[in-house]
Structure 1
Amino acid sequence: MDAILCYSQSAEELLKRKKIHREIIFQYLTKHNIVMPSNAEKCLLVQKVIEYWREGSTASQRNYSSGSTSGNNAPPSDIAASYKDDYQTMGLEFCKWFYQLLNSQNPLLQEQSKEWGPQHFWEDVILKFSYRTSEQQLEVYTGAVMVSLRLLALPKEEHLFLNPNLTGNGLKCIHSPHGLVIIAVAGTIHRESICLGIFEQIFGLIRCPSSENNWKMKFVHLKITGQGGTAPATVQPNEDSEPPVIKYESNELLQVFEEHIVGICD
């Protein structure tokens, strides 16, 4: 590796070398929440890495010149304050925070895990977890501890990596009249370099006045469809193995949380 670094004239040349395998580059992009088709050729992955590095360099220069120290690790309590009525941007920042936090629990990544736990959920939170391989299965969990532990098991015990599609139609975020922020996101699920299927996840967020007005998860709905299953109607992988997209309309997202909204208003 030292010899490769020594004789490489540019980052692009370095990444294109045979000893830098395609799987390594794909895992790097996935780790940084950059969605690429699972069958993308190495040259396309290299181009995406170069673009990512250039964007990061430009952003760093802007932050340095403005004296800003903010980044993408802002907790949920700061998101809405930063973006006010721009709930799509709020949803984007929340998803970056959530999936980086969840995926950091995966021991295969050999990263220092971040602070995961029930503190991010309401005490009466509900998780509906459905998955389909040969048959449809449904699990329901209630309570912050149980929901936190079940979600934690995905990366920590099952070694799954959730790669959300945060571009285009992969993310949809709306705000209900009752103060509930609803976020729907689609993506792919991986174990190491193998794509196992697609997922759809919906979050319901409400501010918690007893916890410094932080946003906490009130409801989580997770659907996983394996490669051998049939994708649900609300998640559609595009042609040519493009990332999956959300097909929910705004009124459909509101209906998902109707029973919880009634509880909030009481």
Structure 2
Amino acid sequence: MSGLSETERAGCKKILKSMAKGDLYSLSDTVTNKMIVVENAAEAVETVISFSKNAEELLRRKKVQRDLIFRYLAGEGVAMPPNSEKHQLVQRTLELWSPVKDETKERHPSQTPTDSANEKAEESLSTNVNAEEGFDPLVLGKQFCLWFFQILNSQNVSLGQQPQDWGPQHFWPDVKLRLLARAGSEQMEEFQGSELVSLRLLALTRDERLLLSPNLEAQGLRALASPHGLVLVAVAGTIHREAACLGLFEQIFGLIRSPLENNSWKIKFVNLKIRGQEALGGTEMTAPALTYNSAELQLLCS
């Protein structure tokens, strides 16, 4: 019997399910010394987990490639530099699964191997962040980004994840999206209304197979609140498709509480700026920083 916790089992399953079938069967042969013949991929996943002493041993296997772990972490809302080595990704994954911190369940709702994961993510955006005197917009900004990029990235089938609850319900009916893309030429798209905005953002991950990895460290994340209840969250990050890093993005969200829906935060506007590799000209890709300063964000608040 393996010594994996429920959280580790759920995480390892996600990673193993994203492996190529040939690699998965080969890994099953390795861990069982070819003593067990599996009939299908689901059996292979269970066998590998059952015959692994612990999560670290499983993650360090040669067949569990670096890119699989990188994509898993990005899907969980954990930003890692694109040039991270495998041992760093393994360490970060083990930290993510560690039960030491209580708040990890709140910050990473998908860790809970139950169907209530999405409800917990919703709660973390409403009941857990109150607009009282000690309200910190940066705490809300980080929670929001973990939640938003996790459910958006889960729509990308190449991650091998169960798609989470994406849709117009997370936006105000009159939400606006401005999408500026610089890859060779410059393209500007504008959309209005919760249905159109949610579909255009969904197309990035579901149809274009992109993966957005936010940098939630100090230089990649800013948040500020206006006296009128609008909270601005600005975040920078890298864009990937499979193992390739395609460029950088900067995204600004305007969030306002909805008193009719348990005071949960909903998205009022989104400005998304994408720069492809060729438009970057030697910019540092590992931990992208925001180019917006506080004064520019204040203007959006007014």
User: If the length of structure 1 is used for normalisation, what is the TM-score?
Assistant: 0.81
Structure 1 segments unaligned to the other structure (5+ residues):
64-68, 259-266
| 2:253 paired with 1:216 | no
1:49 aligns with 2:99: no
- 1:49-88 deviation line (CA, Å, top 9, x unaligned): 33333xx32125998xxxxx99862343224328851111
Partners of 1:62 and 1:44 in 2: how far apart?
19
Pick from 196, 210, 234 the counterpart of residue 246 of structure 2: 196
Letter in 1 for 2:299: Q
Decide which of 83, 90, 101 is 1:59's aligned counterpart: 101
Query: Could you say which residue in structure 1 is the equivalent of 2:63?
Result: 19
Deviates more, 1:146-155 or 1:3-12: 3-12
Structure 2: distance between partners of 1:62 and 1:209 = 27
Are residues 172 and 191 of structure 1, via their aligned partners in 2, closer, same or farther at CA, if it must alter by over 3 Å? same
CA separation of 1:79/1:254 partners in 2, compared to 1, >3 Å: closer, same or farther? Answer: farther
After superposition, the Cα gap between the structure-2 partners of 1:175 and 1:62, relative to the gap in structure 1 and judged at 3 Å, is closer
Hey, what does 2:81 align to over in structure 1? Answer: 37
Q: Does the aligned pair in 1 maintain the 2:175–2:193 contact within 8 Å?
A: yes
Correspondence 1:203-242 to 2 at 5 A: 203-230=253-280, 238=284, 241-242=285-286
Structure 2 match to 1:107: 157
Q: Which residue of 2 aligns with 1:157?
A: 207
AA matched with 2:237: G
Q: Distance in 2 between matches of 1:211 and 1:61?
A: 24
Q: Does the C-alpha gap of structure 1 residues 17 and 108 become closer, same or farther in structure 2, counting only changes over 3 Å?
A: closer
SS in structure 2 at match of 1:46: helix
Aligned to 1:93: 143
CA distance in structure 1 between the partners assigned to 2:81 and 2:238 by the alignment = 9
Greater strand percent: which structure? 1
Q: Is 2:211 aligned against 1:176?
A: no
1:209 is displaced (CA, Å) by 2.7
Determine the C-alpha separation between the residues in 2 that align with 1:211 and 1:243. 36
Structure 1 residue 10: deviation in Å?
5.3
Deviation at 1:128, TM superposition (A): 0.4
Superposed displacement of residue 134, structure 1: 0.2
Matched-pair identity in %: 47
Report the alpha carbon displacement of residue 92 of structure 1 after superposing the two structures with TM. Answer: 0.7
Q: Which stretch of structure 1 is more off in the superposition, 210-219 or 177-186?
A: 210-219
Structure 2 Cα separation of the partners of residues 62 and 125 of structure 1? 31
2:122 counterpart residue number: 74
* Whole-angstrom distance in 1 between the partners of 2:204 and 2:95: 31
**TM-score, normalised relative to structure 2:** 0.72
User: Equivalents in 2 of 1:15, 1:144: separation in Å?
Assistant: 40
Give the secondary-structure state (helix, strand or coil) at the position aligned to 1:73.
Answer: helix
Contact 2:232 2:253 in 1 (8 A): yes
The CA deviation at 1:172 is: 0.7
The answer to whether the Cα contact below 8 Å between 2:75 and 2:154 also exists between their aligned partners in 1 is: no
Q: Which deviates the most, 22-31 or 119-128?
A: 22-31
Partner of residue 24, structure 2:
none
Q: Which has the larger displacement, 83-92 or 216-225?
A: 83-92
Deviation at 1:174, TM superposition (A): 0.5
Letter in 2 for 1:38: P
Mark the CA change 1:212 to 1:37 in structure 2 (over 3 Å): closer, same or farther. Answer: closer
Query: Residue in 1 aligned with 2:292?
Result: 248
Corresponding residue SS for 2:289 = strand
Letter in 2 for 1:80: V
| Pairs aligned (count) | 245
